Structure 1
Amino acid sequence: MTQPFVHPYLPNSAPDVKAAMLAAVGAESIEEFYVDVPSDLRMDRPLDLPAALVAEQDLVRHVEGVLNKNRSTKEKLSFLGAGTYNHFVPAVVDEVINRSEFLTAYAGEPYEDHGRFQALFTYQSLMAELLNMDVVNVPTYDGYQATATSLSMAGRMSGRRGVVVVSDVLPDKLSRVSDFVRPNLDLSFVPTVNGTADVAAAVALVESRGDEIAAIWVETPSYSGAVETAIRQLADAAHSVGAILVVGTDPVGYGVITPPADQGADIVCGDIQSFGLHQWFGGAHGGFIAVHDDPKFVLEMPSRLFGLASTDVPGEYGFGDVAYDRTSFAMREDGKEWVGTAAALWGIAAGVYLALMGPQGMADLGETLLARTRYAQQQLAGLAGVTLTDDALHLREFVVDFSGASVTAHRVVSTLRAEGIEPGVVVGEYELLVCVTEVTTQADIDRLVASVAAVLNTAAANTSAHTSANRSANTSVNTEEKSA
């Protein structure tokens, strides 16, 4: 008789354990337990796992072998961006968040953790100053969730479903946001012109559907790094029909760029990964939502807020929750949406980073990013057959097109990867999204340009040789025909 397979380190694979679990939920079989999951979403084969290893040291060796295949951006020259960025993380950031008082994802509980509350209050205050907003939340899971939540807030406040998307959005972000808001909101898209919003088309769409529109959604910098210059006009268009303007952004440039709040934005949201958080094979991410000091907006925010309050002792202050009863922590299943605390530690990290940088440091960072982005654009666009895809102002990222050189973006990536360079993210057959940060030096950019030039020159030489060979063959054929 064949014995049922029990995995050596998966106790739930034991038949008696499975039976007990099924009995606890009232299901007679695994198939009945998963009946609500559509069949096309279920895996119809076993997981592709190695044979079970008996000894722990064998398992450790196997896992280490898998992990050793990873290569970090410290080992290669990287121009990768698209949502997770290689910014410098000062040593003091890691020193602070690795202290035992902070080293947990959780935000702490009322009356027991005022040090963490104060740290997060400081983060909120520094973010609010940078964004020129009044209220900033304790971080949500990531920037994707923050954006989806911001749009949901607009829908709840207006009682409408329509959202007009006027920017090029990172595809992964658009996918997650769409999944999140699909039950309650409908997204309409206005194609960009030269990298930024087509204001006339956006205004026309909003005016034609005025009583359906909850929000206009702007991304700046956009997926391609383009900085939106028409935020004021878009805000006016939204406000004219009783809608709001939601701006998704990376705040890394607001030491020099005018923040969206000064241009009419009602909600500003995004990710804080650029502020003292490592890339870490996918990044440490935390989402922020910033609004004006308006109870209508503040009471729609689902995550925690920490405020400064006086105590019973004169001259002493404490830190605690603001409007705690609106959160999912207090309302549980009756909450407007659920928000976990998995990113609270990253709020403290970002707070340490912002405190260290200060206004002048953020201004220097913004100027450096703009200058190095422009330098990289000019140098790459100076190569024969290479063009920029738009003329907009770009911060940190931009797209180059190799179609004029008849070289695919995949070819550029595969060739340069062999040289220890990650030149960017392929976004089209001939298009490459290139990212530079403050850790990308002029010498790094020059090395990238020289390596790309070598790829293009090799391709041009091969094309020329192929053409010459064809001409010689044709000439030989014609000579033979004449002789005949």
Structure 2
Amino acid sequence: MTKRNIVYPYIPNTAPETKAVLMEKVKAKTEMELFDSIPAHLLQKEMNLPEPLLDEYSIRRHADNLLSQNANLSTHKYFLGAGCAPHYVPAVVDEIIGRGELATAYSGLMADQGKSQIQFEYQSMMAELLDMGCMAMPQYDGGTSAGHAIRIACRITERRKVLMPKSMSPQNGEIIQNYLGGIEQSFADIEYIAFDKQTGLLDLDDLQSKLDDQTAAVFIENPTFLGVVETQAEQIGKLAKQAGAEFIVYADPISLGVIEAPGTYGATIACGDIHSLGNHMSAGGGVAGYVMVKDEEAYLYQLKDQMVGASPTSVDGEIGFSWVTAFERTSYAVREDALEFTGTNAALLSMAAGVYLALMGPQGMASIGESIMQKSQYAAKQLAEIPGVSIQFTAPFFKEFVVDFNRTNKTVAEINQGLLQHKIFGGYDLSQSFPELGQSALFCVTEIHTQSDIDELVETLKAMVE
């Protein structure tokens, strides 16, 4: 069969006359000569590829057909959380961040006053939500923000020991370990604190036994990875401060309309992920971390990323926005002498969060928090009435809760596979990460779930385990 001489519409250099000029310039007779430096056993000369689609309409139909095979939020009920949950994104959020001057921005600042103002407003609203003072540009994700927060604590205290809950997110735990790792030695020594198997709360006796004058920070999640609201948070913070340690709180911002702000109960550093604030789930994307500290120079100068400041200009009544606030602390200014490296940030996602917070306002955040708590409580109550099924912990929870299937004689994997056949994504299987909980799963209910969604889950599960 004669090989076609294809001109690809999106690759201009495939035009025969252009290719001929290029080949002559590099003294090559065939394209394969360009790969002569690659050992023959590593080079696959003929690839089993389909015929190319050369027109835009055919490409679009082909892509749509492939994407239609995915199981997603539009085709299935979704009760899987574990750190990335489905939340409603108002249409105006997508409309604003979809504008070309925002969506195509590298980081969204430089000399652009509009983008800088969005960041300033976002940072201001987050400071009010968390009752903290200073915030820099976003991190890659919540796990990265937690690693940065711990590094700050170690530098401020000049200590290495960090206490963290054994019930924390396994994924974030791995990111933190990686973030704190070094070529020769780790940046910090992590010890884990037990949690009460009945309530899900941190074991204060275990915490006190491990606190000493070498502790740099006590790190908690609130709500925890297992969904529990840490009602002992203020007491934990006091214990940390008595030992001269920093108190770091990892908080889901969408919970702060109904749960006390970290700064209010003593956090010196707050961190987390802003995924829940106006950002879509996106195949592992749609996440960005935040780190906030008290408005004190000792803390402020430990933030590694750019901050946006506001100041009056030479024109009366005019405010200018600048991203060079304390510029000298960043790796942009001092390069290899910086305390930490600043790379590409998630500016666009923080802009979405800023628009979302402006739309919601304090009352809106309270309403959505109440809705999530009511719906998740309803779901837990209904699930607990299924024979053999129970709720694992007795402490209050927000959005996520652990369902115990140990008395059903079925594994979580079997249950989730059965739910999938009914177009339902079940809970996160905890049997690997938390083997002490046996066959238990972490279920998630947010504001997007209706009563009929929950009832369908309950009826399907009931039929499976009876």
On whether the aligned pair clears a TM of 0.5, the verdict is yes
The farther-off stretch of 387-396 and 427-436 is 427-436
Matched, 1:205 2:210: yes
Candidates 345, 368, 371, aligned match of 2:371? 368
Alpha-carbon contact 1:131-1:259 (below 8 Å) kept: yes
Contact between 1:107 and 1:117, CA under 8 Å: does it hold in 2? no
How far 1:191 moved relative to its partner? Answer: 1.2
Choose the corresponding residue for 2:401, options 394, 398, 402: 398
Specify the alignment match of 2:28 in structure 1. Answer: none
Instruction: Give 1:87's aligned residue.
Output: 87
Q: 1:333 aligns with which of 332, 336, 354?
A: 336
Q: Is the 8 A contact 2:103 2:348 kept in 1?
A: yes
Residue 116 of structure 1: how far off its partner (Å): 0.3
Shift of residue 174 of structure 1? Answer: 0.8
Deviation of the 1:14 alpha carbon: 6.2
TM-score by length of structure 1 reads: 0.82
| Pairing 1:448-459 to 2, within 5 Å after superposition | 448-457=457-466
List structure 1 runs of 4+ shifted beyond 3 angstroms.
Answer: 13-19, 44-47, 56-69
Q: How many angstroms does 1:390 deviate by?
A: 1.0
- Corresponding residue of 2:224: 222
C-alpha change, 1:332 and 1:79, in structure 2 (3 Å) is: same
For residues 234 and 46 of structure 1, what CA distance do their matches in structure 2 show?
59
Alignment partner, residue 41 of structure 1: none
Aligned with residue 195 of structure 1, among 191, 200, 203: 200
Q: Which residue of 1 aligns with 2:237?
A: 235
1:137-216 equivalence runs, <5 A: 137-166=136-165, 168-182=167-181, 183-193=186-196, 194-206=199-211, 210-216=212-218
The code of the aligned residue for 1:234 comes to: I
Query: C-alpha separation between the residues in 1 aligned to 2:47 and 2:397?
Result: 46
Q: Please give the per-residue CA displacement for 1:81-126, whole angstroms capped at 9, x wherever unaligned.
A: 111110000000000001112113523454x211100000000011
Which structure 1 residue ranges, 5 or more long, are not aligned? 1-7, 20-28, 31-43, 458-484
Counterpart in 2 of 1:51? 48
Shift of 1:128: 0.8
In structure 1, the residue matched to 2:290 is 288
Distance 1:200 1:240 in 2: 15
AA at the equivalent of 1:124: Q
1:281 positional shift? 2.1
Partner of 1:444 in structure 2? 453
**Is the CA contact (8 Å cut-off) linking 1:72 and 1:281 kept in structure 2?**
no
Distance 1:119 1:450, change over 3 A: same
Whose helix fraction is larger, Structure 1's or Structure 2's?
1
How far apart are residue 369 of structure 1 and its match? 1.0
CA drift of 1:66 comes to 5.0
Please, which of 232, 246, 256 is the counterpart of residue 254 of structure 1? 256
Counterpart amino acid of residue 318 in structure 1: G
Sequence identity percentage:
37
Q: Give the total of aligned pairs.
A: 421
Give unpaired runs (5+ residues) of structure 2: 1-7, 15-30, 432-437
Change over 3 Å in CA distance of 1:109–1:371 after alignment to 2? closer
Worse overlay, 136-145 or 100-109: 100-109
* Structure 1 residues 57 and 71: CA distance shift in structure 2, 3 A: farther
CA contact (8 A) 2:220 2:250 kept: yes
Shift in Å, 1:246: 0.7
Q: Using the alignment, how far apart are the partners of 2:36 and 2:339 within structure 1?
A: 35
Cα drift, residue 279 of structure 1: 0.6
Alpha-carbon distance between aligned partners in 2 of 1:109 and 1:413, rounded to the nearest angstrom: 44
Say if 1:167 and 1:219, in contact at 8 Å, map to a contact too: no
The answer on 1:97 being equivalent to 2:97 is yes
RMSD between aligned residues:
2.5
Asked if the contact 2:102/2:108 (under 8 Å) is kept, the reply is no
